[in-house]
Amino acid sequence: MVKILNKEVQNYINANLNIDLHTLLLKKSPFPEVSMQEIVQQIKGKQVAERKFPFLLKEGIVFPPQLSLEQASSEKTALYKSEILKGKKFIDMTSGFGIDAYYLSQNFVDITLVEQNTELLETVENNWNILGKKARFINKKLEDFLRENQEHFDTVYLDPARRDQNKNKVFLLEDLSPNILEIQAQLLSISNQVVIKLSPLIDLKYLISVLPQIFRIDIVALKNDVKEIVIFLSNETYHAITCNAVNLESGESTFSFTFGEEENAQSEYSEPEKFIYIPNNAILKAGIFNLISEKFELKKLHPNTHIYTSDQKKESFPGRIFEMDIIDSKSVKKKEQFNIIAKNYPLKPEEIKKKYGLKDGGSHYLIFTQSKKGKIILKSV
C-alpha cells in the first residue's frame, strides 16, 4: 500500500484517469515495485468513486479490487441508512470497503469494523485515517468473532457477500457469506437491532418466511433504480412489519405500509381518464399494486397493467404522472420523436419504434399498454 501512495505513482494515476484501461494494461509499468494491474485498480477505483462515493476523492485514499467496489453501497444509499440509526455502540461485521460503516457510524460513539480480508481492512483503516475517522478494526472471520465476543452493541450491521466460490451471484440467505440463517440467533444475542443489506432481487415474502424476527423492510431505490433491500431484526415483538418504499433523489415521498395490507386491498378498474400514473420501481418491487390504487383513490387499467388513472391529479403519487389522451395507431406518424413506454404489451419499446418508424427521445411520451377492453396507445398532452 505504501508503494501505491508514492507521489510519482499517484501523479501517474491522476494523469491517466481518462485513458483506455485495456490499452494501459498492455503497457509496462514505469515503476518497478508497482504493477500496471495495481495502477489500473486505482484508476478504476477513482472512476467508480466519482459517481458512487465522491467523498473518497482525496489524496492518500486507496481503492480495493473491482468486486469490493461493486458491492459497496453508494454514498447516497449509505447516507439514507445513517439517518435511521443511532446509539452508542455500532459494529459492522462484514465491513468490506467500509462505505456503509463510515456513514452509519455518524450517530454512534464506539465503532467497530470486522473484516476477514486483511488487505481490504488495511485499505479501509488507511482511508479512515485520511478522513479523520476513528474506529476499532478487527481482522477476523465473522464466525470467529461471534464465538469470542463478549460485548453487546446497540446496532449490528451486515452486508453479506453475494457471490459464491465461483464468483456467481447468489440471492438466498443460506447461500450468502455469512449464512444469515445459521447466525441470526447469535446476532440477536449481542444486539437488539440487527440491520442487513441484501440484493434488490431478493423476494420479500421469502425473507419474512425464513426470518421471523423481521420488523422492518426498506426498499431503497436511487433515481428509480432499486439498489438494495434493507431488513431490520429485533428480539422485541412487533404486531406488524413496517415496509418503506424509498426513491432517493426523485423528489417523491417515501410510501410506508405494513406487510399484508396488499392482501386486503382492492382496485377499481377504468379506461384511461385525464391523468396516468406509473409507480416508481420501489413500489413495483413491493408488489403493492392494489394498495396503491386504494390509498391514492386511483383506478387501474387492467389487473396485469400496473398503470393507474384519475380525473383529478394526485400530486403526492410516488412515481411518474402524465396528462394523456388515447390515440389511434393510425395517428402515430413515422419519424416522430417520442419516449416509448410498454407495459403489459406484446411488443418491447425497441420493437415498437421499429414497427412505427419512430425516433427515440424528445419531451413527449407514448405508452403502449392494455386496459380491460384491450390494447391501447396513450399520448402525452
| pLDDT (tens digit per residue) in 177-227 | 899 999 999 999 999 999 999 999 999 999 999 999 999 999 999 999 999
Strand partners, 112: 91, 136
The model carries a pTM of 0.91
Task: Give a yes or no: residue 1 inside a domain.
Answer: no
Task: Give a yes or no: residue 90 inside a domain.
Answer: yes
pLDDT (mean) for 263-290 = 97
What pLDDT is recorded for position 71? 83
| DSSP notation for 113-165 | EE-S-HHHHHHHHHHHHHHT---EEE-S-HHHHHHH----BSEEEE--B-B-T
Residues 248, 292, single domain; the answer is no
Residues 196, 238, single domain; the answer is yes
What pLDDT is recorded for position 295? 97
Q: What is the domain range of residue 140?
A: 70-258
> Domain boundary at 258, 281, 308, which?
258
Task: Give a yes or no: residue 2 inside a domain.
Answer: no
What pLDDT is recorded for position 196? 97
> Domain boundary at 207, 239, 258, which?
258
Backbone angles phi, psi at 225, to 5 degrees: -115, 110
Q: Report the distance separating Cα 98 and Cα 80, nearest Å.
A: 15
What pLDDT is recorded for position 142? 94
What pLDDT is recorded for position 172? 84
CATH of the domain at 173: 3.40.50.150
pLDDT (mean) for 102-125 = 95
3-state secondary structure of 69: helix
Q: How many domains does the chain have?
A: 3
Task: Give a yes or no: residue 52 inside a domain.
Answer: yes
pLDDT (mean) for 341-366 = 94
Residue 48: all three cell numbers together: 467508480
For 235-260, the pLDDT digits (tens) are 998 989 999 999 999 999 999 999 99
Residue 83: all three cell numbers together: 439517518
> Domain boundary at 231, 258, 285, which?
258
Task: Give a yes or no: residue 316 inside a domain.
Answer: yes
pLDDT (mean) for 327-354 = 93
What pLDDT is recorded for position 164? 60
E strand spans, the chain: 89-92, 110-114, 136-138, 155-158, 194-198, 214-222, 225-233, 242-248, 255-258, 268-269, 275-279, 299-302, 305-310, 319-327, 337-342, 359-371, 374-380
Residues 241, 268, single domain; the answer is no
pLDDT bracket for residue 163 (50, 70, 90): low
Residues 347, 304, single domain; the answer is yes
Residues 47, 100, single domain; the answer is no
In contact, 81 and 102? CB cutoff 8 Å: no
Residues 151, 217, single domain; the answer is yes
Backbone angles phi, psi at 357, to 5 degrees: 65, 40
- In the numeric block, the cell 465461483 is attached to 166
For 19-49, the pLDDT digits (tens) are 898 989 999 999 999 999 999 999 999 999 9
In contact, 368 and 347? CB cutoff 8 Å: yes
Task: Give a yes or no: residue 351 inside a domain.
Answer: yes
Q: Report the distance separating Cα 125 and Cα 87, nearest Å.
A: 22
Residue among 252, 253, 86, 250 nearest 157 (CA): 86
What pLDDT is recorded for position 175? 87
Region of 361 (left: φ > 0; alpha: ψ -120 to 50; beta: rest) is left
pLDDT bracket for residue 165 (50, 70, 90): low
Q: Report the distance separating Cα 232 and Cα 311, nearest Å.
A: 39
Residue 275: all three cell numbers together: 391523468
